Structure 1
């Protein structure tokens, strides 16, 4: 099981756990996963790339095969970097890393 990093917004009790490692949600759900995490810029980019890759499949057999391969590679890249993007987004919103509950400060 992947480890988690805990981030908290200073001045509140709101703590968010962000997994480390590969994100199956980002791989399988793409922009829907990003939208559920309120990562609006990532949602827009992922939707735009997926739309472009989808339309390459309408141009012909060879271009469609290339589009399929690029779609799979893009999905894998989203899975590899998804949790890092989520943590970065939270840090940009002012969240800071805190020790997990139960550990001393």
Structure 2
């Protein structure tokens, strides 16, 4: 079972649990996952990169294969760093680790 880090906003009674480790939601859903976590900038960047990689696949057979490989690598990177980005975003909003 993965460990969780709990963050709380000093002015509110709201506590948010952020998982540690790999995020399957970020890996499989990409920018939709970021939108659900209210990570607007990350969602915009993830959507932009996904659109560039999709467009890369429209250029031809070789570019299609390269685009597929880069898309998979990008999805794995989003999964590996997704929970860290979520925690960083919450900390920038004023949440502190309990």
SS in 2 for 1:5: strand
Greater Rg by CA: 1
Structure-1 residue corresponding to 2:15: 15
Please give the residue correspondences for 1:39-54 in structure 2 after superposition, counting only pairs within 5 Å: 39-54=39-54
Greater percentage in helix: 2
The aligned counterpart of 2:84 is 84
Equivalent-residue separation in structure 1 for 2:95 and 2:22 (angstroms): 22
Structure 1 stretches lacking a partner, 5+ long: 99-105
State the distance in 2 between where 1:97 and 1:70 align. Answer: 34
- Divergent runs of 4+, >4 A: none
Partner of 1:56: 56
Number of positions where the alignment pairs a residue of Structure 1 with one of Structure 2: 98
| Deviation of the 1:11 alpha carbon | 2.3
Q: CA RMSD in A?
A: 0.4
TM-score when scaled to structure 2? 0.99
Q: Deviations over 1:71-104 (max 9, x none)?
A: 0000000000000000000000000001xxxxxx
Q: Deviations over 1:19-62 (max 9, x none)?
A: 00000000000000000000000000000000000011110000
